[in-house]
């Protein structure tokens, strides 16, 4: 039997930051195209919804609860975005330097990294990789203002809905999280080499079943 201990050294964890964004636009064949770096990413807010309970009564008692389907949404904020994201934001090119809006919006995948710090190593303790699948951006407001004595850069923001992908042995999902403090280093490197690319291979978005195979050593 072990007595509970609170706030041990090295176990005071926190999460912060967002970095190393990668965009993967979905092609017409349903496959994700090679990833491109998303510079200027400032925030990603994950917003799950659904899973609401509905109580059923019988024999004058609470008989059981049924839960609605859970959905995954997010809000992406950034100072800029890759040119490839324009097709995901409802824009199309008329020619070099000319775009039009109100076009079909392409689905995309997203990868980004957040910090997992602690009281000993600080921000160097580790990080989490977040993967989002089947995302579609809703139309969003773009507000431009005059330059003044307190200049601010325009921040773009997109609300995102998702369509989950299949996972063998589990319910479909639209998100995967990989914790560097818990996964073996060689398996993490294999995953990152796929996601970020190497000198010999293009960056690709791994599907959940592919990640499962990599961490199983298959």
All domains in the chain, ordered by first residue: 17-55+66-215 (2.30.110)
Q: Which residue from 84, 79, 74 is spatially nearest to 37, judged by alpha carbons?
A: 84
In whole angstroms, give the CA distance from residue 61 to residue 195: 52
Return the C-alpha torsion angle 64, 68, 69, 70, nearest 10.
-100
What does each C-alpha distance from 2 to 5, 21, 80, 147 come to in angstroms? 9, 42, 51, 62
User: Helix or strand or coil: residue 172?
Assistant: strand
Q: Is this model's pTM higher than 0.85 or not?
A: yes
pLDDT by residue, tens only, the chain of 218 residues: 789 999 888 889 999 999 999 999 999 898 999 999 999 999 999 888 777 888 888 887 888 888 778 888 999 999 999 999 999 998 888 888 888 888 889 999 999 999 999 999 999 999 999 999 999 998 777 777 777 777 788 889 999 999 999 999 999 999 999 999 999 999 999 999 999 999 999 999 999 999 999 998 75
In whole angstroms, give the CA distance from residue 52 to residue 72: 14
Is residue 174 within 8 Å of residue 166, measured between CB atoms? Answer: no
């Amino acid at each position: 039997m072990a007595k509970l201990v609170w706030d041990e050294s090295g176990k005071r964890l926190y999460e912060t930051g967002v970095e190393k964004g990668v965009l993967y636009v979905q092609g017409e064949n349903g496959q994700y195209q090679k990833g491109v770096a998303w510079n200027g990413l400032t925030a990603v807010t994950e917003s799950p919804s659904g899973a609401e309970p509905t109580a059923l009564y019988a024999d004058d008692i609470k008989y059981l609860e049924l839960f609605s389907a859970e959905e995954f949404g997010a809000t992406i904020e950034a100072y800029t975005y890759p040119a490839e994201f324009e097709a995901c934001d409802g824009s199309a090119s008329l020619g070099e330097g000319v775009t039009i809006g109100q076009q079909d919006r392409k689905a995309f995948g997203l990868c980004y990294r957040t910090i997992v710090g602690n009281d000993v190593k600080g921000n160097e303790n580790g990080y989490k990789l977040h993967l989002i699948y089947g995302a579609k951006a809703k139309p969003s407001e773009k507000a431009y203002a005059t330059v003044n004595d307190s200049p601010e850069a325009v921040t773009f923001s997109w609300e995102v809905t998702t369509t989950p992908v299949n996972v063998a042995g589990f319910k479909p999902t639209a998100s995967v999280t990989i914790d560097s403090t818990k996964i073996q280093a060689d398996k993490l490197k294999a995953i990152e080499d796929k996601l970020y690319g190497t000198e010999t291979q293009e960056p690709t978005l791994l599907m959940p079943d592919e990640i499962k195979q990599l961490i199983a050593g298959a």
